Amino acid sequence: MSERRNGEERREGARSPERRGGDRRESHRVAIEIEVKVGNGPYDRHLGNIGIGGVFFAKPLDLPTGAMVQLRFTLPEMDKAVEAKAEVVEITAVGKPATVGTRVRFVDLDLRSELLIARFLDQHTQPE
């Protein structure tokens, strides 16, 4: 059995109709530094809020919706960087400052990396 899971399999049945629009997060997010690469270009560093399904960048990236990017980041207490492909799913350039930015979803995240992210998020749960 393959250790890779694509985004559709991971999310199958995860969203209910009332979750369409607005905040679609399935887990909380934690701010970390993430490197973003488009095509064969260099990696650029950005601050992003990572969640189990992807990343929210608090500023609009100069990319169209549907663009594919390569992400690279190291979680605290890890030796090796996590690398993942992601798709730009939303760019918001207007609205409240908390909602302006770029959302990307992981497309091809291996199971080990997904579990590491989940553990990291669990360890950094912030009280509501």
Q: Where are the chain's structural domains?
A: 4-11+39-123
| Pairwise CA distance, residues 67 & 128, whole Å | 33
Q: 13: buried, middle or exposed (CB in 10 Å: 19+, 13-18, 0-12)?
A: exposed
pTM above 0.85, yes or no: no
Task: Render the burial of 74-89: b for 16+ CB within 10 Å, e for the rest.
Answer: ebeeeeeebebebbbb
What stretch of H or E contains 119? helix 111-123
Question: What pLDDT digit, counting tens, does each position of 75-111 carry?
Answer: 877 788 999 999 999 888 666 666 778 999 999 999 9
Taking domain 4-11+39-123, whether its CATH number is 2.40.10.220 is answered by: yes
Q: What pLDDT does 27 receive?
A: 57
Q: In the chain, which stretches have pLDDT less than 50?
A: 1-25
